[in-house]
Structure 1
Amino acid sequence: MIQNKSGDSSMRLALFVLPFAVLTACATPREQCISEVTRDTRILSSLINETRANLARGYAIEREQDVRTIRRTCRGRNDDGTIFTFRCDETDTFTTSVPVAIDLNAERAKLESLEERFVQSQAASNQAVAQCIALYPE
């Protein structure tokens, strides 16, 4: 079923940024500075790629998580060493990809806007990277 949903971009953004946050914890001060000042440009680049893919497909793909409780039979051991069985619940999380209808004209306009912002962000990032290099020479 195709649904029209608009949200969850913050979740995708968080999942995109998390690996960079982990990597910067081990980086030199110069690398941390450069990573920080280029963050917006990296995010915009990712959003541009996603928007282009949506336009090429004609629809977006949204990831949804489904939590299910599965009943199982578990085993235990009494104080006297005898084994007994009992019902136990196990929770599993499943992620599924769901096609989502999009307005192609709005998606094209979004891409154009993202590309304009990327150019501006790239220029600002280049200046900021030069400052990082000057501040933290190797």
Structure 2
Amino acid sequence: MSRNLTLTALACLALAACGTPQEQCISRNTDEYRTVARLLAQVEGNLARGYAWDERVVTRTDFDFCPTLVRDLDGEDVLVHRSCWRDVADTEVFRVPIDPVIEQRKADNLRSRLAALRPDAERAVQACRAAYPQEG
């Protein structure tokens, strides 16, 4: 229960990283803990699904209207839009097979790392709350 409350508090504060001085202090001092927690959640999701997600950038050609400078009859530059083909980069998400034994080993290692980081993260949160009390 305490772990869930700590994770929830850290996640809420991470969302408001550009917020109050207290929130900035907590965000700054719990970065590694939050990163390990995010990685653990990702690995646990992979185990639950049976596969991982990955991304790749795919380039495709798209029809568009491109701005072009042309000279009118008086010799003045005029901006016109002409049809053209442009390369567009899209991000494609795809499934990647996993080895459950390796993923489980990753999850176990991340859990132990998270447990080792938890006391320092909790101390940092308490120190930041003491240094920057919230005004109510």
TM-score, structure 1 as length reference = 0.68
Q: Runs in 1 of length 4+ with deviation above 3 angstroms?
A: 71-78, 84-87
Of residues 123, 126, 129 in structure 2, which corresponds to 1:130?
Answer: 126
| 2:47 matched residue in structure 1 | 55
The reply to whether residue 38 of structure 1 matches residue 30 of structure 2 is yes
The percentage of counterpart residues that share the same residue type is: 32
Q: Which has the higher contact order (CA 8 A, sep 6+)?
A: 1
> If each structure's strand is expressed as a fraction of its own residues, which one has the higher value?
2
**Over the residues paired in the alignment, what is the CA RMSD in angstroms?**
3.0
> 5+ unaligned residues in a row in structure 1: which ranges?
1-19
State the 1:67 CA deviation: 2.2
Taking a change above 3 Å as real, the CA distance of residues 23 and 92 of structure 1, as seen in their structure-2 partners, is farther
TM-score, structure 2 as length reference = 0.69
Of residues 91, 107, 119 in structure 1, which corresponds to 2:87?
Answer: 91
Q: How many residues align?
A: 117
| 2:60 matched residue in structure 1 | 68
> 5+ unaligned residues in a row in structure 2: which ranges?
1-13, 75-79
Secondary structure of the residue aligned to 1:65 is: strand
